[in-house]
Structure 1
């Protein structure tokens, strides 16, 4: 599952980098909860939670079987 998460995050990364940010994969647990850390401009952005839920979580759920939720750390 981690390999699929990495590949999917690579697809998302250019959109974040255009805004001066990035995403770092932390881990995934047995319940399908993925932990990520937004970096750069995205780390302090007021829209960070929306980015995690609407962009990263939705994309991972669509492309990686078993992902249930994405949370920021």
Structure 2
């Protein structure tokens, strides 16, 4: 289960701020995933679409959709805007 942080809606002023917030949210949840043999990495940000790559145990986990929903909810809360978290199977293809 993801632990809810106390930080809320930072409203990024620049794209760099926005990217840092997105990366920070992903970094917050990674230790929980890694503990169970999985991982989540930021691949690409394209407007309101945030592409991530789930690896390890997360690939075949039946609860990965709940993990993604939790990450997306935390991103929406922190950014103060709607974003869509999209899992990509091949990070190399998503970057092009």
Normalising by the smaller structure, the TM-score range is 0.7 to 0.9
**Structure whose CA Rg is larger:** 2
Residue matched to 1:16: 33
**What is the TM-score of this pair, normalised by structure 1?**
0.83
Question: Separation in 2 of the partners of 1:69 and 1:39?
Answer: 19
Q: How far apart, CA to CA, are the structure 2 residues paired with 1:67 and 1:3?
A: 17
Gaps of 5+ in 2: 1-17, 89-96
Aligned partners of 1:13 and 1:51: how far apart in 2? 11
Kept in 2, the 8 Å contact 1:36–1:70? The answer is yes
Residue-pair matches, total:
71
Output the aligned Cα RMSD: 1.4
**Whose relative contact order is higher, 1 or 2, with alpha carbons under 8 Å and at least 6 apart?**
1
Q: For residues 6 and 26 of structure 1, do their structure 2 counterparts lie closer, same or farther at Cα, with a shift above 3 Å needed?
A: same
- Which structure features the higher share of strand residues? 1
Say which structure is richer in helix: 1
Question: Runs (4+) of structure 1 moved beyond 6 Å?
Answer: none
Superposition map of 1:13-52 within 5 A: 13-30=30-47, 32-52=48-68
5+ residue gaps, structure 1, are: none
